């Protein structure tokens, strides 16, 4: 079969490799229909994620058809149309039982092999899924292949980011409703201001999610015009990072306070710094961008004096799907708008270059056979 493989930083290679086999009785082999190229694949591609084995098959986003099944796999059969979270999970450990499926004690990230340990990714014609019963999810009727692909990571991750922000603000809103009569008649999120920093796939999905969850006022910051346009179509007011002054603008709108919630969807120090500065005292910084920095751009003293609420971490996709599948079925957004490039696996090398350099107005690449 064909697969996109990691060779060394800034070099992937499309290779012909053996079709994976069932190794354990809880494995499933999925015949891939669509796989995705994601911002976190770039961490591998650029070598930020150190120690990845040469010839690891790239990619952690894939949906397809169950092709072969281990003898101990329950609730799945050959021919089922399924999607996979970007990491697998056992469904029964300490973390899985608490809904933190992304920290499963037996969980592994697809497309991540180090010293021979780990599992290959989905940018291939077939992929082996260990712990398949508790990992794979059957795709309901009415969800297209491309939208199902977005559910593997970016849509759930964006939703998780927005939901985390709103959950952390909830005590302030219930306090407000208790003490201010006029707020009792209002919708929960009528008066809050949310800002999204970064309009890549995850940022765009967090905009749609925040609006779906009831947010009325949302601003989106990026320096790429095409991305700001999609953000606007999803319902955000765009702010250009370079041509405008985002901090001034948000202060203007909020009587000098700053945003109630900032959803940070980039994952570097400058975006985290901007997010902190955009935030009002006791606001929520919900950070979802995978960040390889080893320090914060603000210090504990800054955090203390802002009564900062900071929340981050890897999305537990398998658990969040219980909310995002109904979200998708509500048909309120055309999520596929973010897919700017449908390419073939054989174009893998070119696809990584386009995506990495943000060429050709690229937002999201998917691979189809």
Q: Where along the sequence are the contacts to Zn ion (CB under 5 A)?
A: 38, 40, 61, 89-90, 93, 96, 104, 153
Q: How far is the CB of 115 from Zn ion (least distance, A)?
A: 22
Q: How far is the CB of 345 from Zn ion (least distance, A)?
A: 17
Q: How far is the CB of 289 from Zn ion (least distance, A)?
A: 12
**CA nearest neighbour of 300 among 266, 276, 332:** 276
Distances (CA, A) of 183 to 155, 176, 188, 284: 31, 7, 8, 21
Taking each helix axis as running N to C, give the angle between helix 225-234 and helix 201-212, from 0 to 180 degrees, rounded to the nearest 10: 20
Count the Cβ atoms, other than its own, within 10 Å of residue 331.
Answer: 8
Given the complex with Zn ion, which of 96 and 211 has the nearer CB atom? 96
Q: How far is the CB of 247 from Zn ion (least distance, A)?
A: 30
Are 208 and 158 in contact by the 8 Å Cβ rule? The answer is yes
Given the complex with Zn ion, which of 235 and 316 has the nearer CB atom? 316
Q: How far is the CB of 90 from Zn ion (least distance, A)?
A: 3
Residue number of the CB atom closest to Zn ion: 38
Given the complex with Zn ion, which of 202 and 241 has the nearer CB atom? 202
Given the complex with Zn ion, which of 89 and 279 has the nearer CB atom? 89
Q: How far is the CB of 123 from Zn ion (least distance, A)?
A: 11
Are 120 and 56 in contact by the 8 Å Cβ rule? The answer is yes
Given the complex with Zn ion, which of 88 and 254 has the nearer CB atom? 88
Are 67 and 317 in contact by the 8 Å Cβ rule? The answer is no
Given the complex with Zn ion, which of 130 and 258 has the nearer CB atom? 130
Given the complex with Zn ion, which of 27 and 61 has the nearer CB atom? 61
Q: How far is the CB of 202 from Zn ion (least distance, A)?
A: 8
Report the alpha-carbon distance of residue 333 to residue 329 in Å, rounded: 10
Given the complex with Zn ion, which of 154 and 259 has the nearer CB atom? 154
Q: 18 by DSSP, 3-state: which?
A: coil
Q: How far is the CB of 131 from Zn ion (least distance, A)?
A: 8
Distances (CA, A) of 59 to 9, 12, 150, 329: 15, 11, 13, 26
Q: How far is the CB of 151 from Zn ion (least distance, A)?
A: 11
Q: How far is the CB of 105 from Zn ion (least distance, A)?
A: 5
Given the complex with Zn ion, which of 302 and 342 has the nearer CB atom? 342
**What's the chain's length in residues?**
369
List, in order, residues 6 or more apart from 36 with CB less than 8 Å away. 59, 61, 62, 122, 149, 150, 152, 153, 154, 364, 365, 366, 367
**CA nearest neighbour of 85 among 99, 69, 102, 68:** 102
Given the complex with Zn ion, which of 86 and 327 has the nearer CB atom? 86
CA 135 to chain centre: 17
Are 284 and 168 in contact by the 8 Å Cβ rule? The answer is yes
């Amino acid at each position: 079969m064909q697969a996109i493989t990691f060779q060394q930083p800034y070099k992937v290679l499309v290779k012909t490799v053996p079709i994976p086999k069932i190794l354990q009785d809880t494995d499933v082999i999925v015949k891939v229909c669509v796989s995705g190229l994601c911002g976190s694949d770039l961490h591998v591609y650029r070598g930020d994620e150190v120690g990845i084995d040469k010839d690891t098959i790239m990619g952690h986003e894939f949906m397809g058809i169950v092709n072969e099944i281990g003898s101990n796999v329950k609730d799945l059969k050959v021919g089922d149309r399924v999607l996979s979270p970007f990491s697998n999970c056992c469904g029964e450990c300490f973390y899985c039982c608490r809904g933190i499926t992304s920290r499963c004690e037996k969980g592994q990230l697809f497309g991540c092999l180090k010293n021979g340990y780990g599992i290959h990714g989905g940018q291939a014609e077939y992929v082996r899924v260990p712990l398949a019963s508790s990992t794979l999810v059957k795709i309901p009727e009415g969800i297209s292949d491309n939208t199902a692909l977005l559910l593997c990571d970016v849509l759930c991750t964006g939703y998780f980011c927005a939901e985390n922000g709103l959950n952390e603000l909830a005590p302030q809103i219930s306090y407000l409703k208790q003490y201010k009569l006029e707020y009792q008649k209002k919708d929960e999120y009528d008066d809050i201001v949310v800002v999204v920093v970064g309009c890549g796939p995850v940022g765009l999905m967090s905009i749609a999610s925040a609006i779906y969850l009831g947010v009325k006022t949302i601003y989106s910051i990026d320096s790429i015009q095409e991305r700001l346009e999609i953000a606007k179509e999803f319902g955000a007011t765009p702010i250009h990072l370079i041509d405008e002054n985002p901090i001034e603008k948000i202060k203007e709108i909020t009587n000098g306070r700053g945003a109630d919630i900032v959803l940070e969807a980039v994952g570097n120090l400058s975006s985290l710094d901007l997010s902190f500065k955009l935030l009002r005292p006791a606001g929520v910084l919900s950070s979802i961008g995978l960040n390889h920095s080893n320090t914060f751009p603000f210090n504990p003293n800054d955090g203390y004096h802002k009564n900062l609420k900071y929340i981050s971490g890897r999305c537990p996709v398998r658990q969040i799907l219980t909310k995002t599948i109904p979200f998708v079925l509500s048909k309120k957004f055309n999520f596929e708008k973010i897919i700017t490039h449908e390419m073939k696996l054989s174009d893998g090398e070119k696809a990584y270059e386009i995506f990495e350099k943000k060429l050709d107005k690229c937002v999201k690449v998917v691979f189809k056979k």
